[in-house]
């Protein structure tokens, strides 16, 4: 999967040419996050794949958006580093969907990982957003707008990502204690999950330190986290997760401190605020006035 810079640049030029500037088009990765919407008359394209370079001292990596997340993780493991991405799928797919995985509490949201991208616009142009350094703060942060946009504003071509030190040790623990009490007692947990009866926590660090931190919170080691229900994924304000106390234990797994709920039942009906809808429509009109990028994909709830 290794590429030099010139090879990745050439892939990007070909990708932009393939996307073009006419007719509906959708981008496809490995299909692990729902796949491309497709439909009559909609062309399918694939983003460049391969790793351009790794700069361990700068804690950055450049790769094509079509590169599998697991391939990037394997390469970074050789340098004692990793990225704050959930496993599976492609880099571009993870960024387009914007879902951070159960480590978000400790590792932060996936949008903070993207430092720079070159994406293909609805006009078929290659556009650069962001910068290759961690301290890039100048101008409008277009990278954050693209993350979670489901490819409706532009198709990610290549990316420069922020890496992080790979934990020397990780261990899941469990307890029947209240999840908010556990969250308050633990020092910087990577994840805290709750299914209405049992609380799980993921800790990383030196083995002896991890065991001591868990013991102080009344938790015992376990093999791993609970299976996450796949029927529905809710997004609630983190402070409102207490409403789940009225739900049957085992029908959900909540990410405490984050607000994501994996549930066996449908998510509560949400309708986007009219001001948000208006802003969304104006942004979409600027980036893709004819609606040719990933047509049929709804980004806002209730849309």
Mean predicted confidence (pLDDT) in 72-80: 97
Residues 158 and 14 in one domain: yes
Rounded Cα distance between 113 and 25, Å, is 27
The reported pLDDT for the residue numbered 65 is 97
Question: Which range has the worst mean pLDDT, 29-33, 39-43, 101-105?
Answer: 29-33
CB 10 within 8 A of CB 281: no
Q: Is residue 241 part of a domain?
A: yes
Give 213's pLDDT tier (boundaries 50, 70, 90).
Answer: very high
The reported pLDDT for the residue numbered 33 is 63
Q: Given its phi and psi angles, is residue 91 left (phi above 0), alpha (psi -120 to 50 degrees) or beta?
A: alpha
Q: Is residue 279 part of a domain?
A: no
The reported pLDDT for the residue numbered 138 is 55
Residues 162 and 196 in one domain: no
Boundary residue ending a domain (134, 166, 198): 166
Boundary residue ending a domain (166, 184, 200): 166
Q: Is residue 288 part of a domain?
A: no
Residues 68 and 137 in one domain: yes
Residues 191 and 136 in one domain: no
The reported pLDDT for the residue numbered 34 is 61
Mean predicted confidence (pLDDT) in 206-225: 95
Mean predicted confidence (pLDDT) in 46-64: 96
Residues 91 and 200 in one domain: no
Which strands sit side by side in the sheet containing 232-235, from one edge to the other? 220-222, 170-175, 199-204, 191-194, 252-255, 260-263, 232-235
Q: Which of 40, 67, 41 is nearest to 54 (CA)?
A: 67
Whether the predicted pLDDT of 17 surpasses 70: yes
pLDDT digits (tens, 9 = 90+) for 236-290: 899 899 999 999 999 999 999 999 999 999 988 888 889 999 999 999 999 999 9
The structural domain count of the chain equals 2
Contacts of 226 (CB under 8 A, 6+ apart): 193, 195, 198, 200, 253
Whether the predicted pLDDT of 228 surpasses 50: yes
In percent, how much of the chain has pLDDT > 70?
93
Mean predicted confidence (pLDDT) in 81-105: 95
The reported pLDDT for the residue numbered 133 is 72
Give the global pTM. Answer: 0.91
Residues 216 and 121 in one domain: no
Q: Is residue 37 part of a domain?
A: yes
Rounded Cα distance between 129 and 239, Å, is 34
Q: Is residue 148 part of a domain?
A: yes
pLDDT digits (tens, 9 = 90+) for 106-139: 999 999 999 999 999 999 999 999 988 766 555 5
- In this structure, how many other beta carbons lie within 10 angstroms of the beta carbon of residue 37? 17
If one compares 279 and 5, the residue with the highest pLDDT of the two is 279
Whether the predicted pLDDT of 88 surpasses 60: yes
Residues 174 and 135 in one domain: no
Residues 198 and 127 in one domain: no
Residues 140 and 15 in one domain: yes
The reported pLDDT for the residue numbered 37 is 57
pLDDT digits (tens, 9 = 90+) for 34-53: 655 567 789 999 999 999 99
Q: Is residue 11 part of a domain?
A: yes
Rounded Cα distance between 3 and 279, Å, is 39
CB 181 within 8 A of CB 258: no
Residues 17 and 139 in one domain: yes
Boundary residue ending a domain (232, 247, 263): 263
Q: Is residue 297 part of a domain?
A: no
Domain range holding 67? 5-166
Residues 135 and 190 in one domain: no
Mean predicted confidence (pLDDT) in 165-188: 96
101: CATH: 3.30.465.10
Q: Is residue 181 part of a domain?
A: yes
Rounded Cα distance between 52 and 3, Å, is 5
Residues 16 and 149 in one domain: yes
The reported pLDDT for the residue numbered 140 is 67
């Amino acid at each position: 999967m290794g590429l030099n810079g010139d090879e990745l640049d050439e892939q990007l030029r070909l990708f932009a040419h393939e996307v073009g500037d006419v007719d509906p088009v959708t981008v496809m990765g490995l299909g692990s996050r729902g796949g491309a919407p497709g439909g009559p008359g909609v062309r399918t394209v694939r983003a460049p794949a391969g790793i351009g370079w790794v700069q361990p001292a700068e804690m950055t990596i450049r790769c094509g958006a079509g590169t599998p997340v697991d391939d990037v993780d394997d390469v970074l493991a050789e340098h004692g580093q990793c990225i704050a991405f959930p496993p599976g799928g492609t880099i571009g797919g993870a960024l387009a969907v914007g879902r951070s995985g159960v480590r978000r509490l400790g590792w932060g949201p996936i949008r903070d990982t993207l430092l720079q991208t070159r994406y293909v616009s609805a006009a078929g142009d290659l556009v650069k957003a962001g910068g290759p350094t961690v301290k890039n703060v100048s101008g409008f942060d277009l990278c954050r707008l693209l993350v979670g946009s489901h490819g409706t504003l532009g198709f990610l071509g290549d990316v420069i990502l922020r890496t992080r030190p790979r934990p020397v040790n990780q261990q899941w623990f469990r307890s029947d204690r209240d999840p908010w009490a556990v969250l308050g007692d633990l020092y910087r947990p990577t994840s805290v999950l709750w299914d209405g009866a049992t609380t799980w926590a993921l800790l990383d660090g030196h083995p002896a330190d991890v065991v001591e931190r868990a013991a102080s919170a009344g938790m015992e080691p376990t093999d791993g986290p609970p299976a996450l229900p796949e029927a529905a994924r809710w997004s609630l304000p983190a402070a409102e997760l207490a409403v789940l106390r009225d739900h049957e234990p085992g029908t959900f797994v909540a990410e405490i401190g984050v607000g994501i709920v994996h549930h066996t039942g449908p998510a509560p009906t949400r309708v986007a605020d009219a001001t948000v809808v208006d802003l969304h429509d104006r942004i979409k009109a600027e980036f893709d006035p004819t609606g040719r990028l990933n047509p049929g994909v709804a980004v806002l709830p209730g849309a």
